[in-house]
Structure 1
């Protein structure tokens, strides 16, 4: 990483990533000053809230269970609503997601026919310096009307459809736990989330206003209403600093951690001037459930494939999210359909599409206002279901029949723990980590589009089984020896499948070590992306 003299005009800030010619458009002194101001005002609070997560985890490890907060009972029982939802966010029946760094994918997603598009600086994007700055450039060019390009591989030209014919853009910055190691403010790495948010807002708010849209965000990985309060303060301060009305920036928050499910009312309340809805981030939610309850023997989950949305804690959390949101005038967004088209196998393709259709029918019947897909070809499948809704959303469905308490939100899924399940965890987890270390965050594996949550479920599931010495369905106990025997065998098969050239040119040895270390660690570490990010940054030097 080369230090950049370009940042010398902003006191106390060092840009440690290489500043390529185009990057100067993003990293202007004014923009750097803007994001540095956010870090200086709110960075300490972010770190304090992360420390509170660790304190809370100690209580969970000692046997305490998540529950609704007695001190915020008045908010849960109060009669209040969020601010009115902007016009171009009222119809979000089908949302598509994908990484922000791939220009062609950004254009294809905007043109996919989906109502809205979440472009991702987080779980679907490996946070290399080039990916993060390249993503900002893509979005700046979008709102400047210059995003079109020609693919050098085939000469094909790509450009976005006119406004009104393309998806409404929503941007997901990184979560509170992630740093931006390439930007130091007063000697400390700044928040990745505030960097992503601040740069996008600073560079695009004026062009967004001209189009009649606004700066819209998806906020990930929150664990409490206090973390939502911090985001709200960041939004408000940023808006005032730019001279735009408070409430211009709007967000949807992913409820993808177990503690947050007990604070949905409070999260909506804290961000009531800026929020438009909540989303069921199902894959990260499973990961969080395992992580937060991992040491409790009453909450050991079966194979990942048996932890499905229609049952147990996942079903309860989905229904409670719908009821909570609609009571407050907020959208309740459904979760991801990770299936992608299966080329060359019509039967498998039909089966994949049928799974998506059934999942979307369940969501629509429950009362969700919209849903996610990961591939343009699945937009039509989701639209087949949500397009039949009599209105653009289902805010009128109050779901007063839903009664979900602590017991329902914690009910574990029933099912088997199998060697096959362990093998899948090893196979998918390692391949995803290897791709992430190589700079790719959205990875097609076994006919599913996977992001970081997949690898997190894989390594925490094995960690939990190892911690408890859980029994497999065939009677064997899960031991470190059995895990490594399976991991070694799966990696041998994978190498044979991929070939030596692909294996040696990739980062499989590092990926295997990360997966092994985290699966067998004494404590369940918070995020695999934290140690992996260090390797990612080291590789850029």
Structure 2
């Protein structure tokens, strides 16, 4: 491999020869030239971000008289549907409930780790998005464990079937106690019910195990695309199943066009017809909402639908508006899908998917993620499930063809909302045509009055600290709640992923650097309405919330982490929130400290990141432990 353009770290080709097959290594080589393009577009991203900050400039719509960068498609043609798409495949036409979660566990043997895939495929979900990004831990070789587990499951390997048999029995035990009946009959036939979907890592991330031979870091997007599709396309197609990806963190149609070229090149390399690989796009970035039809057109025959997420999107709005001293978000609990800019975002997505392409094809709209888990007191579970069902009913009424859940136990709670209507999907439902006015642009950053409280700040800090700690332990998906509610079974844990930490720290950054005023008196601190959220308040709350975690029981904060990863999580939170120039991604500071439990080393790495960002305008995204 050394004479080729890509280097694989250590002895991983041998240890993961079932993942790094000769075919997948050849596919990586075929896609390697795109690595420079990815880096170029990520540099352009940062440049746009700096210009917005320096010029105090809002995002706007593209000029309709131009072409979509990276394509020959005119912006005006994309907006009017004058582009070539493709019909939605049969196994994606009904996606009432999709589950989301990783296909591997941290530091677990194969027989235990692969149970994640079994729970997903036996859940009764119409589709399961196996996460390679926000919910998948990246410590050690977890990204490769995820690929291995998915391949074993797709190929129905005996080690997977044995795990599935055991998991089916356990799931039925829970179903009998919760629903009064078993939900799984023949487990083998149940495995074929759920459409397998894979979320590749975003263009902003680098792989931890691959480098270019010249030492350049290697795009995680290319790694995930090549490994997953190459290792599984034959078996999936033989089964009559689609090859489906979720593409995260796309900001522009130019980036979508790059994804389209990479996917097309891989299809050509594998001898597949263009459009064999189908993609959903997670609309997680404010800028993407200004270019929805352009993104759809740029992905052409590969595009199948959009998903409206919450946490990532709120974070992107906060980040894009970091320059504006008047743009200050309220408590995170107030920013639901019916709040100001979120309401307008959702409306544009549903109008975009229901605009036909040149052949009359519509696309899917998959609603947001339900983070609740039905575990807690009887009253707590009943109250939370009522809210979860109400949220699903709202999205169904608004035109979504389905939604997500973050835990398999939620599937049969949410699925009946769509089941009772009986429609496979809501494609082609009539909504007003998209417009591109100044009013439309303003609506995408619309703030509405809502509380901004010390209680809200405590919640932001506590969960942000806990998430950073969980991430560094290899759990990028974790059940969390603020420390003040530990032991209160009426307040349920929520499944949180990377976006959880991102948005919580973004809002704290806003409050501190834009001098946000607290909207209510706080008896606990004695602070009164109108008090400016200052550095001294932040430091006081940080100390208090951190100490609560140090004193928490092992169930809520692993005891061993209190002297290893938790202090590093605190350091990252403190630096991120205090830095005058907002750091683009919280995940960057976490990634450079993966597999590191030494606070001194963490501080050195964080300082390296901040210095490079300030002096060179660049992020540190490589695996600092992987040197040629």
The TM-score normalised by the length of structure 1 is 0.93
**Which secondary structure state, in structure 1, belongs to the residue aligned with residue 337 of structure 2?**
coil
Contact map agreement 2:331 2:452 (CA 8 A) in 1: yes
Cα separation, 2, equivalents of 1:402 and 1:414:
27
- Among 180, 183, 201, which residue is 2:210 paired with? 183
Q: Unaligned regions of 5+ residues in structure 2, if any?
A: 67-74, 106-113, 172-185, 357-361, 482-492, 520-528, 598-624
- Among 350, 365, 381, which residue is 1:322 paired with? 350
Q: CA deviation at 1:456?
A: 0.3
Contact map agreement 2:139 2:473 (CA 8 A) in 1: no
1:526 aligns with 2:518: no
1:240 aligns with 2:286: no
Q: CA deviation at 1:89?
A: 0.8
Partner of 1:4: none
Q: CA deviation at 1:247?
A: 0.8
Partner of 2:97: 94
Partner of 1:3: none
Q: CA deviation at 1:445?
A: 0.6
Aligned residue pair count: 532
Cα separation, 1, equivalents of 2:450 and 2:10:
47
Partner of 1:484: 539
Q: Give runs of aligned pairs for residues 219-258 of structure 1, distance below 5 A.
A: 219-258=247-286
What's the C-alpha RMSD, in Å, of the aligned pairs?
A: 2.3
Contact map agreement 1:125 1:440 (CA 8 A) in 2: yes
- Among 41, 44, 50, which residue is 1:58 paired with? 50
1:337 aligns with 2:330: no
Cα separation, 2, equivalents of 1:490 and 1:320:
39
Q: CA deviation at 1:503?
A: 4.4
Cα separation, 1, equivalents of 2:559 and 2:442:
51
Contact map agreement 2:279 2:303 (CA 8 A) in 1: yes
1:451 aligns with 2:491: no
The TM-score normalised by the length of structure 2 is 0.81
Q: Give runs of aligned pairs for residues 57-456 of structure 1, distance below 5 A.
A: 57-61=49-53, 62-70=55-63, 71=66, 72-80=75-83, 82-102=85-105, 103-146=114-157, 147-150=160-163, 161-162=188-189, 165-186=192-213, 187-328=215-356, 329-343=362-376, 345-400=377-432, 405-446=440-481, 447-456=493-502
Q: CA deviation at 1:18?
A: 4.6
Q: CA deviation at 1:163?
A: 6.6
Q: Which moved more, 1:272-281 or 1:58-67?
A: 58-67
Partner of 2:567: 509
Cα separation, 1, equivalents of 2:58 and 2:381:
41
Q: Unaligned regions of 5+ residues in structure 1, if any?
A: 1-6
Cα separation, 1, equivalents of 2:375 and 2:153:
31
Contact map agreement 1:182 1:189 (CA 8 A) in 2: no
Contact map agreement 1:150 1:157 (CA 8 A) in 2: no
Q: CA deviation at 1:20?
A: 8.1
Q: CA deviation at 1:166?
A: 2.4
